[in-house]
Amino acid sequence: MDAPTKPDTRGEILKTTLQLLGRRSYHSFSYNDISQILGIKKSSIHYHFPSKEILAVESVKKYYEKIEYLLNKLDNFTTDPWVKLDEFFNFFKILLERNEVCVGGILTAEVSTLPNSVTVETIKVFNRVFDYLANLLKISRDNGIMGFSGDPRSRAVMIMSSIEGALLLSRMFNNIQLFTDAIQIIIRDLCI
């Protein structure tokens, strides 16, 4: 058994920031929120992240890692594209159950007032997901497992558009069924 690890303040700050981004928005949380949640002073946060921009950039990078971990886990877990999609959608459903939505969706909605460096990282997340989904869709259609028409990448983008939109609406209407219904339609439209 290892000795007690030293507290990871930096990591806790990032984790808290991601939660705040998933529940609120970039402009709706402040260093003061984090300091109260973690019981440290604002200047301690500034020590680890000298500006809010840097904090957000690092947070989005961490989010990218979480997405990367999810996608790798899907590929290690199964080769069945339907199961992969199911688990992929489930990742977002679990966010909803915690009253969060996708950090990417939040930042996308605020993009016109975001520091550019944050936008750049956000775009990377989406492109990673688009690539993954487009590849999955293409292979599945080539194998005759799926029957959708049109360009796989456009379909991938449209799936993520639907997911982001459905997450936001589902949260506003306080109705998870709204999200799961949308997922059913997305899946059904892939079958034809």
What does the binding site for a second copy look like in residue numbers (CB under 8 A)? 23-25, 27-28, 99, 101, 105-106, 108-113, 119, 122-123, 126, 149-151, 154-155, 157-158, 160-166, 168-169, 171-173, 178, 181-182, 184-186, 188-189, 192
CB of 22 to DNA, least distance (A): 16
Is 156 within 8 Å of 174 (Cβ atoms)?
no
Is 133 within 8 Å of 87 (Cβ atoms)?
no
161: three-class secondary structure by DSSP: helix
Report the residue number, 94 or 185, with the smaller CB distance to a second copy.
Answer: 185
CA distance 174 to 71: 28
Report the residue number, 25 or 180, with the smaller CB distance to DNA.
Answer: 25
- What values do phi and psi take at 45, rounded to 5? -70, -40
- Residue 11's binding partner among DNA, a second copy, none (Cβ under 5 to 8 angstroms by kind) is none
Q: Cβ of 120: how many Cβ atoms within 10 Å?
A: 12
- Residue 112's binding partner among a second copy, DNA, none (Cβ under 5 to 8 angstroms by kind) is a second copy
